[in-house]
Structure 1
Amino acid sequence: MRSIDSVPTLRNGTPGEASLNADRLRDVAGLVDEGIRGGVFPGAVSLIARGGIMGWLRAQGYAQVVPSRRPMDPETIFDLASLTKVVATLPVVISLWEKDALGLDSPVRSVLPEFSGGDRDLVTFRHLLAHTSGLPPWRALYLHARTREGVLKAICETPLAAPPGRTVEYSDLGILLVGFSIERMTGRMIDRLVKEIVVEPLRLTHTMFNPPRDLWTRCAATEPGHGYEHEKVGNDGRAFRWREDVLCGEVHDGNAHYALGGVAPHAGLFSTAREVAAVAFQWLRPGVLVSPRAVEEAITDQRNGAGGYPRGLGWVLHHEGTFFDALGPRAFGHTGFTGTSVAVDPDEDLIVVLLTNRVHLGGSNIKIQEFRPRFHEAVWRALL
């Protein structure tokens, strides 16, 4: 691994220097404007880097529209939601794996003995990271627990939805187990580990859990209240004390906020487009954050016969129908519920970041699912 002094860094440049067609980039901007007009999101920050040069960074629309309008800025800080899994938690896991402190094929019960019994005994860390553990996607854990120990107990009591290794089933619960395992092994909270392993080596200044209040006015707003999860929980949440104000600077995810104090391995990280790209760039220039061996392992299909779409360790791999389908066959990426995404194409030396505040229009607003593929198609057409 290279020293921190030699950390690979994206540099600012023109579209031409980044091998991007300036005329076609106007189509990218126009598509984002169309998304704003069409109610896909109030605003967005998009970034395109190629060959180590950031040739496009554009803020459009509004960071907040309720109760008043606040323009989007290129340095707006976003609630990354599930991008936390690959920007923060995955590098910590890889760091432990590189030091032989964590075995990907070790059973989870070797670290968390309370996660045992029946098929749970067969679940490995590789299963958790590839989302083939059999754990269900989500559960309102905050209705049952308000401490880390209580959340872990609730997950351990959650029945598996499928045998381990049978199928890909994206699961927040699985990544929560990864985080609790890391904390048990190291005796340190995940936010401290992320600061040490990711933030400080890359010299990031606006990547953090629980942004201080003096930064909230620089954050993109998310949902007005917590109506989406309230509706999802239904009658079970009738007596629960839900947030009612516009969420801005506080993590949107209910389990991260209500049960885990804003610090969680599956959601809770805040960052900017520039700093998300800085982390993504390490996957194209391995040596500081991740090694070449780790990159190869993480972007290799981990299904091993399991049904479902191809998954690496943490990352979604290229396949027909994914949001970055327009990119090359070795591309990988991830999305976040709040309207965030990052995609990396090793063959084109390309990073594409799209951060939006789509849940500011309501958590049930899913227009971005159709928008993201169109956006990445427009980016692909802008490559020289």
Structure 2
Amino acid sequence: ETIYDLASVTKVAATTVVVMKLYEMKKIRLDIQVKSYLPDFSGGMKDSVTVRHLLTHSSGIRGWDKLWEHGTSREDAIDYIINLPLEYTPGDSMVYSDLGIILLGEIIRTVTGESIDVLASSMIYKPMGMENTFFNPPADLWSRIAPTEVGGNLDRGLIRGTVHDENAFFLNGIATHAGLFSTAEDLAALAEMLLNNGIYRHRRFLKPETIQEWTQSQNLPEGSDRALGWDTPSEKGSSAGDYFSDGSFGHLGFTGTSIWIDPNREIAVILLTNRVHPTRERGGIYQVRRKFHNAVMRALLQEMGIKIIQEEAVGNTKKNKLFDSN
């Protein structure tokens, strides 16, 4: 019943699922230059930045900035991002970038004429019956929403029912990097669709090959764990824990949310918390995530007849060897 502010899980539960739908519709191409959609984003290294670079956080665009200090409107924010100098050669590094994903949202708006909230609702949430997933939840649902921070950077008092992320708040609650609210049940429906090769309740939402492209590590730059919007478990110390198999993918949210999906074992693990309540200074969420995912996965693997037969120390984590006892 509880509705949570998903923070950066928005990037996969709204933004990139819409991008991949538009990719299937041939309205967005992954390897075309961003300037083809946004002509003002050009000159120097910007000429080589592609949509794929934005999706893999390898575009050269800085990670974050206080957009509310650089204008008074969404248009001002987009102009500011477009005119920022790149901080590294596109494709050479991976720097997690909210600003790059916000720019991706402007591409979505350019090719469709619609904002992310309208598209995600019409393409995914309404036809899938995800009735508790939305941007800017109506006030009559606020009593069901987990509160986030008290005050925050903008001194907004108790934040409940409006987006926690300051840049998304500045963008009127509708943004491609943060702003989505949802429940564990609704996210489980989205995960079920992905685990079922794009089909949910007998209706196809994505092609299997689109899901494969979307969720596999792009190795861009070489050694990066990022897929197209999604993350994949790192070799050492992943917040997903130690038991997700190769090919798994997921994403975290600053407010204490996450989703991890293991397609090989048909498992999805969703963790929704309001760890920033009453303040973001509360620590420990990394260890909570690891312990939670390890406990859940151990239980599920045991139920599936898969046993851990050996644990070898690898750095600060453990490498688990599994075998099927059936």
Query: Aligned with 1:243: secondary structure?
Result: coil
Which residue number corresponds to residue 355 of structure 1? 272
Match for residue 281 of structure 2 among 352, 355, 364: 364
Equivalent of 2:92 in 144, 148, 166: 166
1:146, 1:378 → 2: CA distance?
46
The one-letter code matched in structure 2 to 1:338 is T
Asked if residue 319 in structure 1 is aligned to residue 234 in structure 2, the reply is yes
Q: Alignment partner of 2:271: what SS?
A: strand
Instruction: For residues 142-201 of structure 1, give each alpha carbon's deviation from its aligned partner in whole angstroms, at most 9, with x where no partner exists.
Output: 111232211111101222221100011110011101111100111111111011111111
| Match in the other structure for 1:72 | none
Partner AA of 1:252 in structure 2: H
Do the aligned residues in 1 keep the contact of 2:216 with 2:247 (CA within 8 Å)? Answer: no
What CA distance in whole angstroms lies between the structure 1 residues aligned with 2:53 and 2:219? 9
Q: CA deviation at 1:307?
A: 4.6
Maintained 8 Å contact 2:7/2:180: yes
Counterpart position of 1:379: 296
Question: What CA deviation, in whole Å up to 9, does each residue of 1:198-229 have, x standing for no partner?
Answer: 11111111100001111111100000011xxx
Partners of 1:325 and 1:298 lie apart in 2 by 22
Q: Could you list the runs of 5+ residues in structure 1 that have no partner in the other structure?
A: 1-74, 231-241
Q: 1:37 maps to which residue?
A: none
- The unaligned stretches of length 5 or more in structure 2 are 304-326
In the TM superposition, what whole-angstrom CA distance separates every residue of 1:88-146 from its partner, at most 9, and x where no partner exists?
A: 11111011100111110011110011111111111100010111111111111111123
1:105 correspondence with 2:16: no
SS at match of 2:195: coil
Percent identity over paired residues: 45
Match for 2:259 among 321, 342, 346? 342
Cα distance in 2 for partners of 1:143, 1:157 equals: 15
Shift of 1:319: 2.0
Amino acid at match of 2:139: R
Name 1:89's counterpart in structure 2: 15
Deviations 1:222-273 (A, max 9, x none): 00011xxx3xxxxxxxxxxx33311000000001102x10000110000001
Q: TM-score, normalised by structure 1?
A: 0.75
Equivalent residue in structure 2 for 1:189, among 107, 115, 133? 115
- 1:62-211 mapped onto 2 (5 Å cutoff): 75-211=1-137
One-letter amino acid matched to 1:247: I
Amino acid paired to 2:230: W
Deviation, structure 1 residue 300: 2.0
What is the CA–CA distance in structure 1 between the aligned matches of 2:246 and 2:234, rounded to whole Å? 8
CA distance in 2, matches of 1:270, 1:315: 18
Distance in 2 between the 1:371 and 1:272 partners?
19
Letter in 1 for 2:189: A
Runs of 4+ in structure 1 over 6 Å off:
none
Backbone CA RMSD of aligned residues:
1.2
Equivalences for residues 41-56 of structure 1 within 5 A: none
Cα deviation, residue 365, structure 1: 2.2
Task: Determine the C-alpha separation between the residues in 1 that align with 2:172 and 2:73.
Answer: 9
State the partner residue of 1:294. 210
In structure 2, the partner of 1:330 is: 247
* 1:27 matched residue in structure 2: none
Whole-angstrom distance in 2 between the partners of 1:105 and 1:261: 30
One-letter amino acid of the counterpart of residue 290, structure 2: P
Question: Amino acid of the residue matched to residue 162 of structure 2?
Answer: E
How far apart in 2 are the matches of 1:172 and 1:78? 20
Following superposition, the deviation at residue 366 of structure 1 comes to 3.0
Match for residue 274 of structure 1 among 185, 188, 194: 185
